[in-house]
Amino acid sequence: MRDDVVRCAAADTAAAVLESITASPYPFAVLTSADGTVLGRVPASALKPPSETPVWDVAEPGPKTFRPYHSVENVTRHLAEKDLRWAIVTTPEGRLLGVASRADLERAGA
C-alpha cells in the first residue's frame, strides 16, 4: 500500500487537482475532509478540460474503501469481480491511509 495518492479538498479547483494527478502515478485523486476522512474519488477524466470548477462538483461521492485488516485475497477478489484497479484503504473512522493497486495485491497474494 502506498500513501502518495493525491489528496484534495472540496474547494480545490479542477485545474489544480488535474495538474497534481498528472504528476502522480494514479489516474485519480481522493477528496478528503480537513481531518483526512474520505469523501469521494476524483478521476482525472472528470477534470478535463481544466477549469476553476471546485472538485466537489465533479467528485464521485462515497467510494468503496477497505480496512487494513481485510485480507489481500478478499480485496483482490472484490477488485477483480468489479473490474477495479485500485483499493482505497482507510481507518475504521474513514480516514485515508493509502491506495493499493490490484496488480500489487495479486503479486502479494501469489
> pLDDT tens, 55-66?
999 999 999 999
The string of pLDDT tens digits covering residues 15-52 is: 999 999 999 999 999 999 999 999 999 999 999 999 99
Residue 95 is given by DSSP the state B
- Residue 1 counted as domain residue: no
CATH code of the domain containing 25: 3.10.580.10
103 falls within a domain: yes
Query: What is the pTM for the complete model shown?
Result: 0.91
Domain that holds residue 85: 6-109
User: How many distinct structural domains can be found in the chain?
Assistant: 1
